[in-house]
Amino acid sequence: MMNSRVKRKILIRFILIGLNMKLLIFGAFGFLGQNIIVELEKLNKKVFSKLSMTYLSNSKFYSLSDEADFFDIYECDVRNKNSVEDIINKTAPDVILHMASTRYFPEPRNQNDHTDINFLGLKNIIDGIKVCGLDSRLVFINSGAAKNADIKDIDGNYEMNGLSYAQSKLLASNYFQKQNITNQISGLEVRLFTPFGPWDYSNRLIQSTVIQLNSGKIPKINSPESTRDFIHVSDVVNALISVISNMQTSKEILEIGTSKSRSVLSVVKNIYKIMNLEYVEDFHRVKTENEEITSMEANINYSKVLLDWRPRISFENGLESTVKWTLSQIGRFYD
């Protein structure tokens, strides 16, 4: 996933800041975690003295090698303040990578999970750093959905119950930025714009379309006219490892994408082409009560400068490899 030039640059950065870093990841067992942990495994013995991870909904790293026994793994619900504080105190990390999150689709059974996990979960981690008296650098992995969300400021008059996915992401961003700007914490916020690739969930657009077409079914599509900034997960992983290795802090928000959006329907049509199927103007539209994300596109100018990073995988190549990977993994997906 990481080419030799990028890997060499990353190792040099780690050497310059000093090795034996202690890294703690909250929410490490999801789609992004399955991909970033593979690269951290390769770097581990050269870089980290301790690499700790938490999980809630899954109990297995599907992507790890059988020899990967160097992780300390904790079960943790970020909604549980005492559990979060206990893990931060035990691991005393130099860097915390916070990736725990709800998903935009499908909606959680409890609508308040968006607020409780995306906002209060972040607050629990920030409070835990303070209570433990640590100077851990917090890297907050947020969604690009926060960019176009609408909610009153954290100090304003608002109702926290029933917030949507995007609203909860913006609420978390507002809180993090105020803590960061006033130097209550040390860190930076990274917003991701529609990562895709291997180990994604079976109900996500690309994987679900491939699975359904492979079974001879008409694909189910949510918001086909909406546009997204699709970026291959390997480029996202390279950006995040650059964030870790740079030891950067920033008051500005880093956006990770390609700065080019495309419609959901156009992605589906490309999947037909890759699978050598003739596209027919027929699909099942998944109805949602509130389609709040109609357009997403990153501005990556600041990320290029701060991280010396840019996306390297073209959408076409990334999509083709993802389709092939999905076909090779039919029946082995997790949700």
For 10-29, the pLDDT digits (tens) are: 554 554 445 577 889 998 88
Q: Is the pLDDT of residue 49 over 70?
A: no
Q: What is the domain-level CATH number for residue 48? A: 3.40.50.720
| Sign, CA torsion 280/260/163/254 | positive
Q: What is the arithmetic mean of pLDDT over 192-216?
A: 93
pLDDT at 282: 64
Evaluate whether residue 282 is within a structural domain: no
pLDDT at 73: 84
Phi-psi region of 263 (alpha: psi -120 to 50; beta: other; left: phi over 0): beta
Q: What is the arithmetic mean of pLDDT over 45-49?
A: 67
Evaluate whether residue 213 is within a structural domain: no
Beta-strand runs (E) in 16-161: 21-26, 48-55, 71-75, 95-98, 137-143
Beta-strand runs (E) in 45-151: 48-55, 71-75, 95-98, 137-143
More confident residue, 300 or 218: 300
Q: How confident is the model at residue 2 (pLDDT cuts 50, 70, 90)?
A: low
Q: What is the arithmetic mean of pLDDT over 30-50?
A: 79
Query: What Cα–Cα distance (Å) separates residue 115 from each residue in 131, 181, 226?
Result: 22, 22, 24
Judged by average pLDDT, the poorest of 3-12, 40-49, 102-111 is 3-12
**pTM (global) more than 0.85:** yes
Evaluate whether residue 150 is within a structural domain: yes
Cβ-contact 37, 61 below 8 angstroms: yes
Judged by average pLDDT, the poorest of 45-49, 72-76, 247-251, 288-292 is 288-292
Evaluate whether residue 281 is within a structural domain: no
- Tell me, letter by letter, the H, E, C secondary structure of 192-241: ECCEECCCCCCCCHHHHHHHHHHCCCCCEEECCCCEECCEEHHHHHHHHH
More confident residue, 34 or 177: 177
pLDDT at 97: 94
Backbone angles phi, psi at 116, to 5 degrees: -65, -35
Q: How confident is the model at residue 116 (pLDDT cuts 50, 70, 90)?
A: very high
Q: Is the pLDDT of residue 43 over 90?
A: no
Q: How many domains does the chain have?
A: 1
Q: What is the rounded distance in angstroms from the CA atom of residue 154 to the CA atom of residue 39?
A: 36
Q: What is the arithmetic mean of pLDDT over 199-222?
A: 90
Domain that holds residue 23: 4-194+233-259+298-312
More confident residue, 281 or 315: 315
Judged by average pLDDT, the poorest of 37-51, 62-76, 306-320 is 62-76
Q: Is the pLDDT of residue 165 over 70?
A: yes
Q: Determine what percent of the chain is predicted with pLDDT higher than 90.
A: 54
294 SS3 class: coil
More confident residue, 36 or 255: 255
Q: Is the pLDDT of residue 203 over 80?
A: yes
Q: What is the rounded distance in angstroms from the CA atom of residue 312 to the CA atom of residue 321?
A: 14
pLDDT digits (tens, 9 = 90+) for 238-275: 999 889 877 778 899 999 999 999 999 999 999 999 99
With CA atoms as reference, report the closest residue to 325 among 198, 196, 195, 194: 198
Evaluate whether residue 225 is within a structural domain: no
Q: Is the pLDDT of residue 299 over 60?
A: yes
Evaluate whether residue 206 is within a structural domain: no
Q: How confident is the model at residue 315 (pLDDT cuts 50, 70, 90)?
A: very high
Evaluate whether residue 109 is within a structural domain: yes
Judged by average pLDDT, the poorest of 56-60, 131-135, 211-215, 223-227 is 56-60
Q: How confident is the model at residue 154 (pLDDT cuts 50, 70, 90)?
A: very low
Evaluate whether residue 322 is within a structural domain: no
Mean pLDDT of the chain: 84
Cβ-contact 69, 45 below 8 angstroms: no
